[in-house]
């Protein structure tokens, strides 16, 4: 149990943009073998492909020698193709840099490159008038740590565009095979760092939305009037920054991210949901959600769940052992996927979701919060 908590403290959920220096984790010497992501719950097989985009209108904010901003975008989408090569979770080099950066030892550095995904690589997209969801990961984390959520949404009939924000994670493989490391990690203690990161990510997201129609053959399947964004930690905080600046994004989810972009004093009426860890409740240490809650004038929810990323699923492959009282990995994934999908179904597909209105006996681990109204229920 101590091993698990040490690793989750390093990896899983952080409310701040810039994590404190991670503690060294000491995994068990007996990893369980390759991790296997939960199967998607929707009706459609899932395909995936990677785009490499270059924004020539701005320099890279972290690499002073780069005159353009390079981005890696991973797309997940419905397909009719059930057979084919499954997409890699990480490359061996990405796995090595992620584990080293996270100070996880005791397992082969390529361990996460053997994680089994469900999406067929470069499968032909299928469907029409599909809503689009943009995903943004936490600081230092590659986009791949949100793969289970992305695959599930695609199986439910969404196109998902996940962005690796170059130099903001331990490893991002670029178009020419170079692996960009975390240059932003050298600045994470600077004043105003979080506010700067969310503005960089807002520009990244708007650029990707501009480029998709011309750069992806399947873009014609997307209904561009139905776009939402979700992210974890600083990726969730970036959802606010994006929505303030880009009216194309109709709804947003912040999964456990301290918010930095200021909402206009007149309020913000587009649908928004905060999903926090058990430590992220009204009256807690982070006051930004309560500040912003008052300015959210449209549909809004604040719920509490224990996990948001693939990291609990990866615990066995890292030799961490059973989670004790922590949620089982599969259940944690189910909760996150269920509530994110319910929000998107309601606001992008106009399908009423009573699950979002009050606590559910089916999901007793999830609490609903109302700031100013007492404890979360």
Is the per-residue pLDDT at 1 higher than 60? no
Give the CATH number, domain containing residue 171: 3.40.50.1820
pLDDT at 282: 87
Q: Which residues contact 12 (CB under 8 A, 6 or more apart)?
A: 307, 308, 309, 311, 312
375 part of a folded domain: no
Residue 37: alpha-carbon gap to chain centroid: 15
Retrieve residue 155's tokens: 């199986």
Q: Which one-letter DSSP state was computed for residue 20? A: P
373 part of a folded domain: no
Work out the average pLDDT over 156-161.
98
Please identify which residue in the block is written with the tokens 């930004």: 288
157 part of a folded domain: yes
Is the per-residue pLDDT at 353 higher than 60? yes
75 part of a folded domain: yes
pLDDT digits (tens, 9 = 90+) for 210-266: 999 999 999 999 999 999 999 999 999 999 999 999 999 999 999 999 999 999 999
| Helix axis angle, 234-245 to 193-215, nearest 10° | 70
30 part of a folded domain: yes
Is the per-residue pLDDT at 25 higher than 70? no
Q: How far apart are CA 7 and CA 134, in angstroms?
A: 27
pLDDT digits (tens, 9 = 90+) for 55-77: 999 999 999 999 999 999 999 99
Biggest CA-to-CA distance, the chain: 56
303 part of a folded domain: yes
174 part of a folded domain: yes
Say if CB 219 and CB 74 are below 8 A apart.
no
374 part of a folded domain: no
Which pTM value belongs to this model? 0.91
3-state DSSP assignment of residue 25: strand
Q: How many domains does the chain have?
A: 1
Is the per-residue pLDDT at 3 higher than 60? no
Please identify which residue in the block is written with the tokens 């992210």: 231
Q: Which domain holds residue 235?
A: 2-368
Q: Rounded to the nearest 5 degrees, what angle is found at the Cα of 310, between the Cα atoms of 96 and 254?
A: 115
């Amino acid at each position: 149990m101590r091993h698990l908590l040490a690793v989750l403290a390093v990896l899983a959920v952080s409310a701040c943009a810039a994590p404190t220096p991670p503690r060294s984790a000491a995994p068990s010497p007996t990893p369980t073998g390759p991790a296997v992501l939960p199967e998607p719950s929707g009706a459609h097989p899932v395909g995936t492909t990677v785009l490499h985009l270059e924004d020539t209108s701005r320099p890279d904010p972290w690499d002073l020698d780069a005159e353009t901003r390079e981005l890696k975008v991973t797309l997940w989408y419905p397909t009719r193709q059930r057979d084919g090569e499954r997409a890699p979770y990480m490359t061996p080099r990405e796995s090595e840099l992620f584990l080293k950066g996270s100070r996880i030892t005791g397992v082969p550095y390529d361990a996460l490159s053997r994680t089994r995904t469900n999406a067929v690589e470069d499968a032909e997209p299928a469907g029409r008038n599909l809503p689009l969801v943009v995903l943004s990961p936490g600081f230092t984390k590659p986009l791949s740590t949100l793969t289970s959520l992305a695959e599930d949404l695609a199986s439910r009939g969404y196109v998902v565009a996940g962005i690796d924000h170059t130099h903001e994670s331990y490893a991002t493989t670029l178009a020419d095979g170079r692996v960009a490391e975390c240059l932003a990690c050298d600045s994470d203690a600077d004043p105003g760092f979080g506010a700067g990161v969310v503005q960089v990510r807002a520009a990244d997201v708007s650029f990707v939305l501009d480029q998709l129609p011309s750069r992806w053959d399947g873009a014609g399947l997307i209904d561009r009037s139905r776009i939402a964004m979700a992210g974890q930690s600083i990726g969730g905080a970036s959802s606010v920054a994006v929505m303030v600046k880009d009216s194309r994004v109709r709804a947003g989810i912040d999964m456990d991210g301290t918010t930095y972009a200021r909402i206009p004093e007149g309020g913000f009426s587009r649908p928004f949901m905060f999903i926090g860890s058990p430590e992220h409740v009204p009256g807690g240490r982070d006051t930004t959600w309560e500040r912003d809650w008052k300015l959210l004038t449209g549909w809004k929810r604040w719920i509490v769940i224990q996990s948001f990323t693939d990291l609990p699923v990866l615990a066995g492959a890292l030799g961490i052992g059973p989670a004790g009282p922590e949620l089982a990995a599969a259940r944690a994934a189910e909760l996150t996927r269920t509530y994110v999908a319910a929000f998107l179904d309601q606001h992008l597909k106009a399908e009423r979701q009573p699950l979002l209105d009050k606590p559910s006996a089916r999901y007793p681990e999830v609490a609903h919060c109302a700031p100013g109204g007492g404890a979360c229920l």
